[in-house]
Structure 1
Amino acid sequence: MEVDAAARALVGDVASPSPWSLLCVLAALLVLWAASKVAERCWLRPRRLGRLLRAQGLGGTAYRFPAGDLTENGRLNKEAQSSPMPPCHDIVPRVAPHLYNVVKEHGNVCITWFGPILRVIIAQPELVKDILSNKSGHFEKFTNKRLGKLIAPGLANYDGEKWAKHRRILNPAFHLEKLKGMLPAFSTCCTELVGNWENKLANSGGSVEIDIWQEFQNLSGDVISRTAFGSSFMEGRRIFQLQAEQAERIIKALQYIYIPGYLFFPTENNRRMKEINREIEGLLRGIIEKRERAIESDGHEHDLLGLMLQSNKASGTSSLRMSTEDVIEECKLFYFAGMETTSVLLTWTLVVLGMHPEWQDRARKEVLSVFGKNKPSFHGLNRLKTVTTILYEVLRLYPPAVTLNRKTSKEVEIGGISYPAGVAVELPIILLHHNPNIWGKDVLEFKPQRFAEGISKATNDRLAFFPFGSGPRICIGQNFALLEAKMALSMVLQRFEFKLSPSYAHAPYTVITLHPQHGAQIMIKSLE
């Protein structure tokens, strides 16, 4: 009997393992599964893709486990940013040193590595045109969705039907008649800007130093607040401050993005990014709720936010409406992109005109001949040929975004090379804008007359100038940004002449867009 009891106990132990044993087995399986995923992502897939593309003749950097080229890229950026450069327009080696070196060594189509992600640089106009036109339907946006959501999600980062729906809803806000209606807001904001400068001059000895980088951030922030959200800049100031900090922190996070799950680590940077995101969304939610109440009372729908909310109200089917979260994401994008693009363009325009006073004089002569001392009109702004060519040439030399990124959604052939689905493609705007084989030996000279007969003539009908992108996904706010820039530049030229301050250090660098690392100090004096 005792033997039978012992046998039954033994069989029972075998048949009924303890919960602890099961947990250990499950943990071991989970570790093996995670290890296999990491091995596939960080070792097997990169090597497989690298062999596939090199077999077709592509050159480039070798994959270095697990960071790829991120470590070298970080080192070169740190070295480049350690000191200013001479006041010239040969900025690519400082702004994108790794990109510059790779293309110089391996050609206009070559392989580089963003962590374990193989990225193909394509710097040939005809191939770039094919990719951005996306007639094959085989390309989609390439973004880190988690990081993108933290800074500027929305239309710029959507694909497929969601992108089409949001573009359809937002397009009317940027039609010609809408832009005409925004001109009084542009004028009001610019009047406040030049008024502040005149007050500073009144208390000086005839000239005064101004950091136009800060000034134009405030201006473009005020404009986007009034025209897109109907609020003053003061209401949006906190959002702009938070997004500027977020951009810096995202650049920092990108250096470690190759580590699986890195964004979930409780680092100080990650925690702060999440805090910033929560605060921005809370502020925007408050603005949206206030506007929803206003729409109910007066039907106000003339700005971007009103248009989105009115579209929701008017739509009878949920599939054609934006959720509150969708509206918040579009607001983030327009707060960030609406301020960044124009402030960057205006800053580099005044810096360049400070370097080239002869073009400043020519632009001022044109503005005064069209408007005199009167406020610029919509019709008059469209007649400014010299000013337009100056803005185009600044956009060529100092594009706000230095690259665009896409990803193959299906197997596709580009320039005789077959790429499988999931390959990242980098389209380096700044390299094409600075390519001497496209623009000539004087590529690094500031020559607005290149654009005297339009963009097509300047580029010989090649896609070699695309500061706002190209194809169906071209920046929806391009005309908004250019109209605002023309208005601000005209009003500055009407009242002031300016030159670079002795304290100015020429140091362009990228924080999502192309910033002046140490500010942009100019000396201004009144024309009167």
Structure 2
Amino acid sequence: MGTERVVREMLGATTLIASITAAIIMVRWGWKMMKWLWLNPKRLERVLIEQGFQANPYKFWVGDLKEIVKMHEEAKSMPMKSLSHDLSPRFFSFVLHILHKHGKNSFMWFGPTPSLILTSPEQIKDVFNKNYDYRKSHLNPLSKYVAPGLAKLDGDKWAKHRKIISPAFNLDKLKTMTQTLFQCCNDMIREWDKKLSSSNGTCEVDVWPSLMSMTQDVICRAAFRSSYEEGKQIFHLLTEQSELVMNHLQRYHTPFWSFVHGKDLRRIKEIDRMVGDLVKGIIKKKEKALKEGEAMKNDVLSILLESNHKEIEKRGNKKNVGLSMKDIIDECKFFYFGGQATTSSLLAWAIMLLSKYTDWQTRAREEVFQVFGDQEPNFDRLSHLKIVTMILYEVLRLYPPVTWQERSTEKDMKLGDILVPGGVQIFIPILMLHQDQEIWGSDAKEFKPERFSEGISKAGKGNSVAYIPFGWGPRICVGQNFALLEAKMALSLILQNFWFELSPAYSHAPFIRMTLQPQHGVHVILHKL
């Protein structure tokens, strides 16, 4: 009996301890959740309001998310008016609503996180310049699946990656890739020629699929020295993944999202693993070929691996020196999708706009023939294309690949006269900035390449931060010269071979799938010159 009583007392004590432990854990968890979902948002709200900022009152957990998703879906479902370039109501309907309701000093709520809406170029310049203080926002874990590698990194790790990657995109290296760009673009031209030859020199074509295939081929050959067929599976998977991510990006912080949409989340993670394995195989083959002296060294991956090897040799084979295999895989993923999506979107909108504004198409074609004649475009002469460059700049102003950027800070920061409390997000509406009439004039929403006749620095009232299609400051896109070189090459070849007009079948419906893309393609009527 004594033994049984001791056992019962021990079990009782154990149960009591377990109950107390569980209660402590629940209290700590509850306190943590209360701070995250109520106390901290209300504190930040008070600090911002005291400085003259206005917003909708904070709603527990969801903030403005319900209204953001609802207004975005409504705006997206409405057809565009003819060929309007005023895209802000389509993508920033809630932002415009907040600015109209509360004025320029406004913020909105992404769940329990307040987000300052910055429209002042000077404030934006300050944020971009202080890239160690204002870091990439990681509030939404889904974003890492569409922007891995350099795009998601911060601080010293970002600086290390940038240093190792940069040699792959300097002008001397890009020059060695020009022939590859020409071959890929010329393959697309030959395909269009075949369609025209079977239809008496004129036919209707949706150029969007061709541009995607061509830019994918460029990435495979110029970045990895592999064939399009080898990379096709990777592109297919990344496209599926980006669609899933973009469908849920704004909904992520709604309560119990991961339970309701668990199937999509599992598929996103599965694709990430599959792409990682495929890319790792390409990297291993490249390393083996380089080691055995069987590979050329003028593609992005080879230059990256060589730069990484030099960094490791220079600093010694120590921990955290150079890029790990996972780091290289992440960078390659971003090359694959980011590099392809940016240039294909730029070319698609350029062809659409030149199909509508045929006077600019004629001027661009005359310049191309003046610079190259019937000869193959080359690296040195591409820089002489002033009118083509003006057109591409204006396309990027009206249809930037990335329509907004986000930053956040973990500590209190001064932004001009403003105190930005740690934990506040910064929202930079690039598209709205590019079409701000106070900066660009009353014709800000019109296609007028002549505004760039004296270069970017003189456009937009000379405000360099008013034009940021590739970002600005230390974190400006490392691949922007590659994208513009490819776009100039492709557009020059297209203008040398065809003239084109917009088809009645064209439906103007820009949408965002990582970059700003034509939802229903770009239907044009091609004519052989």
- TM-score computed with the length of structure 2 as normaliser: 0.94
* 1:411 Cα offset (Å): 1.3
Distance 1:79 1:103, change over 3 A: same
Contact 2:63-2:110 within 8 A present in 1 as well: yes
* 1:33 Cα offset (Å): 2.9
Residue 233 of structure 1 is matched in structure 2 by 228
Q: Secondary structure at the match of 1:413?
A: strand
Q: Partners in 1 of 2:140 and 2:55 — Cα distance?
A: 27
What does the per-residue CA deviation read over 1:76-114, in whole Å, with 9 as the maximum and x for residues that have no partner? 221122232121211111122112222233333321111
1:14-413 to 2 correspondences below 5 Å: 14-17=9-12, 22-85=17-80, 86-134=82-130, 137-144=132-139, 146-259=141-254, 262-263=257-258, 267-298=262-293, 300-314=296-310, 315-316=312-313, 317-318=317-318, 319-413=320-414
Residue 464 of structure 1 is matched in structure 2 by 466
Distance 1:54 1:286, change over 3 A: same
The one-letter amino acid of 1:390's match is I
Contact 1:109-1:123 within 8 A present in 2 as well: no
Distance 1:48 1:343, change over 3 A: same
Deviates more, 1:336-345 or 1:60-69: 60-69
What does the per-residue CA deviation read over 1:58-85, in whole Å, with 9 as the maximum and x for residues that have no partner? 1123322222222212112211222321
The one-letter amino acid of 1:310's match is E
The one-letter amino acid of 1:132's match is F
Deviates more, 1:84-93 or 1:479-488: 84-93
The one-letter amino acid of 1:119's match is S
Contact 1:503-1:521 within 8 A present in 2 as well: yes
* 1:325 Cα offset (Å): 0.4
The one-letter amino acid of 2:474's match is P
Residue 521 of structure 2 is matched in structure 1 by 519
Contact 1:344-1:400 within 8 A present in 2 as well: yes
The one-letter amino acid of 2:447's match is F
Residue 423 of structure 1 is matched in structure 2 by 424
Please, which runs of 5 or more residues in structure 1 have no aligned partner?
A: none
Q: Secondary structure at the match of 1:17?
A: helix
Of 503, 506, 509, the match for 1:507: 509
Q: Partners in 2 of 1:218 and 1:102 — Cα distance?
A: 40
* 1:302 Cα offset (Å): 2.5
* 1:202 Cα offset (Å): 1.2
What does the per-residue CA deviation read over 1:136-155, in whole Å, with 9 as the maximum and x for residues that have no partner? x4211113473233222111
What does the per-residue CA deviation read over 1:261-319, in whole Å, with 9 as the maximum and x for residues that have no partner? 85587711111111111111111011111111111111643222112322344423233
Deviates more, 1:36-45 or 1:305-314: 305-314
Count of paired positions: 521
Q: Partners in 2 of 1:451 and 1:360 — Cα distance?
A: 16
Deviates more, 1:456-465 or 1:303-312: 303-312
Contact 1:108-1:124 within 8 A present in 2 as well: no
Contact 1:507-1:517 within 8 A present in 2 as well: yes
Deviates more, 1:373-382 or 1:32-41: 32-41
Contact 1:149-1:329 within 8 A present in 2 as well: no
Distance 1:454 1:75, change over 3 A: same
Q: Partners in 1 of 2:261 and 2:511 — Cα distance?
A: 29
Deviates more, 1:395-404 or 1:453-462: 453-462
Distance 1:255 1:131, change over 3 A: closer
Distance 1:260 1:327, change over 3 A: farther
* 1:426 Cα offset (Å): 1.0
Q: Secondary structure at the match of 1:497?
A: strand
Distance 1:232 1:63, change over 3 A: same
Runs of 4+ residues deviating >4 angstroms: 8-12, 18-25, 259-266
Deviates more, 1:484-493 or 1:62-71: 62-71
Task: Work out whether 1:490 is the aligned partner of 2:489.
Answer: no
Q: Partners in 1 of 2:260 and 2:78 — Cα distance?
A: 33
Q: Partners in 2 of 1:100 and 1:245 — Cα distance?
A: 30
Contact 1:222-1:232 within 8 A present in 2 as well: yes
What does the per-residue CA deviation read over 1:417-468, in whole Å, with 9 as the maximum and x for residues that have no partner? 2112221101111111010010111111111000001111112332100100
Q: Partners in 1 of 2:174 and 2:139 — Cα distance?
A: 32
Contact 1:308-1:322 within 8 A present in 2 as well: no
Q: Secondary structure at the match of 2:462?
A: coil
Q: Partners in 1 of 2:121 and 2:29 — Cα distance?
A: 41
Q: Percent identity?
A: 43
Distance 1:483 1:312, change over 3 A: closer
Contact 1:217-1:339 within 8 A present in 2 as well: yes
* 1:11 Cα offset (Å): 6.6
Deviates more, 1:262-271 or 1:438-447: 262-271
The one-letter amino acid of 1:43's match is W
* 1:244 Cα offset (Å): 1.4
* 1:19 Cα offset (Å): 5.2
Distance 1:20 1:74, change over 3 A: same
What does the per-residue CA deviation read over 1:327-369, in whole Å, with 9 as the maximum and x for residues that have no partner? 0000011111101110111111111111111111111111111
Deviates more, 1:202-211 or 1:83-92: 202-211
Contact 2:47-2:421 within 8 A present in 1 as well: no
Q: Partners in 1 of 2:76 and 2:261 — Cα distance?
A: 29
Q: Secondary structure at the match of 2:35?
A: helix
